[in-house]
Each structure stands twice: as structure tokens, then as C-alpha cells.
Amino acid sequence: DGGITQSPKYLFRKEGQNVTLSCEQNLNHDAMYWYRQDPGQGLRLIYYSQIVNDFQKGDIAEGYSVSREKKESFPLTVTSAQKNPTAFYLCASNEGSSTDTQYFGPGTRLTVL
């Protein structure tokens, strides 16, 4: 089954800790994306990667970091510098053109205690 997996489904973090959210895809897509969704809101772009070893900041990149060492993996680290990290995080991928449909993973719900 081709698709996008995210783990963990739920994550609890103490203030001051860094946490890493996993995103893996077996769709052979070149481009991958991370979005943040706050309650009752739409999705906002954090980072995106068009190709291995390259990534670009989105609209709300402050306090987050990413890596793209493998085509199928695009982990997101939420650092202690992110002031309000409690949110729902969604990973997506597509074939790499801006005109391609994006496919989404099931999401990770992060709560800061």
C-alpha cells in the first residue's frame, strides 16, 4: 500500500524540550511538506523540500527545523524556541510540480504540558 505515515499519532512535550516528528512516504514523490493546523484554522506551511538535501522555509518556520537526507523521509523538529507548539502537524507529498495534487499523512497531535 502506497502512502504517507506519520509518527507518533500523539506526542506530549514538556516546555523546553525539543521533539522530532516523523514523516515517511513510499509514493516515490520528490516534494514533501510540513503544515501546522491550529484549532478551527486552516493549514499553514512550515517547511517544504523539493528534492533530497534541499529545503525551504514556509510562512511559519521560526522555531522549527527539518532535514531531507533521504527521498522518503522528511522529519520535523519542534525546538524549544517555538513559543506555542501545541498544534496538529500534517505532512504531505507530491510529485514535485506546483501543479500536482498533494497527499497527506494522518497527522501528529503535539501537546506541550
**Edge-to-edge strand list for the sheet holding 64-66:** 4-7, 19-25, 76-78, 64-66
102 binds another protein (CB under 8 A): yes
Specify the residue, 9 or 14, whose C-beta has the smaller distance to another protein. 9
Q: Are 101 and 94 in contact (CB under 8 A)?
A: yes
Range 66-88 burial, b when 16+ CB lie within 10 A, else e: bebeebbebbbebeeebeebebe
Site membership for another protein, residue 45 (CB under 8 A): yes
56 binds another protein (CB under 8 A): yes
Among 43, 52, 60, 61, binds another protein (CB under 8 A): 43
Binding site for another protein (CB under 8 A): 31, 33, 35, 37, 40-45, 48, 50, 56, 58-59, 88, 90, 92, 98-104, 106-107, 109
